[in-house]
Amino acid sequence: MAEDPFPGWHGTTIIGVRKGNEVVIAGDGQVSLGQTVIKGTARKVRRLSPGGFDVVAGFAGSTADAFTLLERLEAKLEATPGQLARASVELAKDWRTDKYLQKLEAMLIVTDGSELLVITGAGDVLEPEHDIAAIGSGGNFALAAARALIDSDMSAEEIARRAMAIAADICVYTNDNLTVEKIAR
């Protein structure tokens, strides 16, 4: 088997937590190439406002690929204002069938304050169980931590921050420099 000429970018944990009337997406700031930290202050959670309709998105994977997907999602939202699920399905269909988009290596968590969705390059648009979604290198650690905390008195933001802190303690590709965006239903 030939060795991959690119050692692979790692270094993202993104979590989305919905609790009460609040949805929070949080992401760490670390970008690594192989075993080297390239940057510790990346912003992988963004607020989009196509046509005045607020959406928060977090991404894991290649930054250029993620920005391409975010631009496509914005275009889909402009074509279907206020319909995040429909825009997400349309994006996933394009991602799955377009020869250029098929090569993109990223995942997205998106919310409009009502829906919380994970969009993948396999054509999936998933609404997570338990109102928690997590992706990236430390995603499973953050997911497990948030699931353990969801029934506590903590807010969605407190749960997301605590889950990210736990993931940063465990995953070497995750740091504690967070970007947190909150949106209400």
Active-site amino acid positions: 12
Q: In the numeric block, which tokens belong to residue 146?
A: 């948030």
In this structure, what is the dihedral angle of CA atoms 142, 84, 72, 74, given to the nearest 10 degrees?
-100
58 vs 136: CA distance, rounded Å: 10
Residue 82 half-sphere exposure, CB side, CA atoms within 13 Å?
1
Q: Are 121 and 4 in contact (CB under 8 A)?
A: no
- Which residue matches tokens 């790692």? 10
Strand order, beta sheet including 55-61: 45-48, 55-61, 106-111, 116-119, 125-126
Pull the structure tokens for residue 27. 């992401």
Structure tokens at 106: 């990223």
